[in-house]
Amino acid sequence: MAVIPIANIGIMSFCILAFSHIYEITREQSEKKLLKLAQTDPLTGLANRVRLTDVFERENRRSLRQGTPLTVMILDLDHFKSVNDRFGHGMGDKALQHVSRILQKSLRRTDLAARLGGEEFVLLLTETSEKQAKAAAKKIRETIESSPLMHSGETIRLTVSGGIAEYGAHGDSLQALIRQADKCLYHAKQTGRNQIIHIEDAPDTSPACS
């Protein structure tokens, strides 16, 4: 008769351990989902500024430790307001999602694409010099230009302007690099759009990229 209570205790202990294990797994999964949501732009699925900052700090340390280059690129859709005004904000959202997909397909797994807000994106390119980033920027710009959106039988052509800044040469913090790349972006906008430039592309006298 004593075997039955002992068996019941054993079964109960096993159930408690099993439920505890399941709870712990579920809790970890929930925490990971919440963390991902907190670091993801809800419209495009790209990283947001929080995620960008975290990844930059990690890659910054790795760059210093290994002596590898690290480059930041800012991209901004040209004439995006006209897309919203002419086709509506819903189509504007689709345009942002369309460009986001192109960016994700164009980058390596070690790189990061983030949306800063509005129609502005930031790319963090690991082990990439300014010169290499310029070549990558050309391919991205040309892909976006050659991949229009269709809306009710009408073609919506998209282009981007951008700026490039390399860690060390143009700043030693994410804020400094974004500020420098943004100056080059401004210069690209002022001199015709649909171009991604870095400091050597801009005249020394240009206050926009110097």
Where in the sequence numbering do the catalytic residues fall? 119
Cβ neighbors of 57 (< 8 A, separation 6 or more) are 174
* Contact assessment for residue 128 and residue 33, using Cβ atoms and an 8 Å cutoff: no
The residue type at 196: I
b/e map of 27-48 (b: 16 or more CB within 10 Å)?
Answer: eeeeeeeeeeeebbbeebebbb
Sheet holding 160-166, edge to edge: 112-117, 120-126, 70-77, 160-166, 196-197
Rounded distance, CA 98 to CA 200, Å? 30
DSSP conformation letters of 152-172: TTEEE---EEEEEEETTTS-S
